[in-house]
């Protein structure tokens, strides 16, 4: 059985190169779309990944295929720390 929390396992499956880059402390130059990964991290409520993606250039105004913003997703699922991070990044 994998010892990673379920949320982290899902993020690892959705954005494997970003996951490995984050966890090996490398800069995120791994070729995956940081904004798509930001949306995934917001859906999963992964605050650490959201913060890292924002620090490395992901847009706090990123949207998914349905036009939902990262901020609206975080608000919907009541991930208040992520809401704070995204709001601060938009300033």
CB atoms within 10 A of CB 24: 7
Task: Please say whether the beta carbons of 58 and 37 come within 8 A.
Answer: yes
pLDDT value, residue 64 = 85
pLDDT value, residue 31 = 46
Q: Is 15 left (phi over 0), alpha (psi -120 to 50) or beta?
A: beta
pLDDT value, residue 35 = 86
Give the up-direction half-sphere exposure of residue 81: CA atoms within 13 A in the CB hemisphere.
9
Residues of the chain with pLDDT under 50: 1-6, 25-31
In CATH, what number does 6-90 get? 1.25.40.20
């Amino acid at each position: 059985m994998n010892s990673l929390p379920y949320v982290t396992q899902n993020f690892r499956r959705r954005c494997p190169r970003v996951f490995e880059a984050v966890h090996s402390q490398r800069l995120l130059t791994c070729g995956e779309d940081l904004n798509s990964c930001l949306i995934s991290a917001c859906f999963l409520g992964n605050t650490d990944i959201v913060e890292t993606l924002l620090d490395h250039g992901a847009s706090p105004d990123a949207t998914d295929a349905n036009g939902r913003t990262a901020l609206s997703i975080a608000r919907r699922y009541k991930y208040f720390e992520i809401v704070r991070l995204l709001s601060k990044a938009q300033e």
